[in-house]
A and B are shown apart, each in its own frame.
Chain A
Amino acid sequence: MKFTWFNLMPWPYLPDDFREKNRSVWVDIDQKLFDPAKSHEVYNTYMDLLDYAGTVGFDGIGVNEHHQNGYGIMPSPNIIAAGLARGKSDAALVVLGNSIALYNPPIRVAEEFAMLDCISGGRLVAGFPVGTSMDTNYCYGQIPSLTREKYQEAHDLIIKAWTTREPFAWNGRYNKLRHVNIWPRPIQQPHPPIHIPGGGSVETYDFCIDNTYSYSYLSFSGYIRAKALMQGYWDRVAERGAPDASPYRAGFAQTICVAETDAEAERLYSEHVSYFYNRCLHVYPGFADAPGYRTIKTIQTGALSQYAPPTGGYTQLTWKELTEQGHVIAGSPETVRQRMEELIKGLNVGNIFCLMHVGNMPADKCMYSTKLFAEKVMPKLRNMFPDYADDDRFWCKPLEKRVKAGALAPAPDRAPQTVGA
Chain B
Amino acid sequence: MELKTLQTHHVPVRYITGGSGPALLFLHGAGGVLREDPLLAALAERHTVYAPLLPGYGDSEEAPTLREMLDITLHYWDVVAALGLKDPIIVGHSMGGMIAAEMAAIQPNDVTRLALIAPAGMWLDDHPIADIFATMPFEMPALLFHDAAAGAARMTAGLDMSDPKFLQNYLVTNARQLGMAGRILFPIPDRGLSQRLYRVTAKTVVVWGDSDRLIPPVYARAFQKALPGAALVSIPEAGHMVIHEKTADVVAAIRDLG
Report which of B136, B177, B181 forms a contact with A285, defined as CB distance below 8 A.
Answer: B136
Docked-complex contact A145 and B179, CB < 8 angstroms: yes
Are A144 and B182 CB-contacts (below 8 A) given A137-B187, A299-B168, A299-B171?
yes
Report how far A287 CA is from B182 CA in the complex, Å: 14
Contact with B along A167-179 (1 / 0, CB 8 A): 0000001000000
Q: Is the CB of A291 closer than 8 A to any CB of chain B?
A: yes
Restricting to A165-211, which residues have a CB under 8 Å from any CB of B? 173
Q: Is the CB of B186 closer than 8 A to any CB of chain A?
A: yes
Contact with A along B158-189 (1 / 0, CB 8 A): 00000000001001101111111111001110
Docked-complex contact B178 and A291, CB < 8 angstroms: yes
Are A292 and B178 CB-contacts (below 8 A) given A143-B183, A145-B183?
yes
Q: Is the CB of A412 closer than 8 A to any CB of chain B?
A: no
Report which of A143, A146, A294, A302 forms a contact with B175, defined as CB distance below 8 A.
Answer: A294
Are A296 and B172 CB-contacts (below 8 A) given A286-B135, A287-B134, A291-B177?
yes
Restricting to A245-302, which residues have a CB under 8 Å from any CB of B? 284-287, 290-296, 299-300, 302
Docked-complex contact A137 and B175, CB < 8 angstroms: no
Docked-complex contact A290 and B172, CB < 8 angstroms: no
Q: Which residue of A lies closest to B134 (CB)?
A: A286
The residues of A that contact B176 with a CB separation of less than 8 Å are 296
Report how far A146 CA is from B186 CA in the complex, Å: 11
Docked-complex contact A292 and B172, CB < 8 angstroms: no
Contact with A along B183-200 (1 / 0, CB 8 A): 100111000000000000
Q: Is the CB of A373 closer than 8 A to any CB of chain B?
A: no
Report how far A287 CA is from B133 CA in the complex, Å: 8
The residues of A that contact B172 with a CB separation of less than 8 Å are 296, 299-300
Are A145 and B182 CB-contacts (below 8 A) given A291-B174, A292-B175, A299-B171?
yes
The residues of B that contact A145 with a CB separation of less than 8 Å are 179-180, 182-183
Q: Is the CB of A346 closer than 8 A to any CB of chain B?
A: no
Are A299 and B175 CB-contacts (below 8 A) given A144-B186, A145-B180, A291-B182?
yes
17 more A-B contacts (CB under 8 A) besides A141-B186, A143-B182, A290-B182?
Answer: A138-B131, A138-B133, A141-B187, A143-B186, A144-B186, A145-B179, A146-B183, A173-B67, A287-B134, A290-B133, A291-B175, A291-B178, A292-B178, A292-B179, A296-B172, A299-B168, A302-B168
A interface with B by C-beta (< 8 Å): 27, 137-138, 141, 143-146, 149, 173, 284-287, 290-296, 299-300, 302
Q: Give me 25 A-to-B residue pairs in the complex whose CB atoms sit less than 8 angstroms apart, sorted by A's number.
A: A137-B133, A141-B186, A141-B188, A144-B133, A144-B182, A145-B179, A145-B182, A149-B64, A173-B67, A284-B134, A285-B136, A286-B134, A290-B133, A290-B186, A291-B177, A291-B178, A291-B181, A291-B182, A292-B175, A292-B178, A293-B179, A294-B175, A296-B172, A299-B172, A302-B168
B interface with A by C-beta (< 8 Å): 64, 67, 131, 133-136, 139, 168, 171-172, 174-183, 186-188
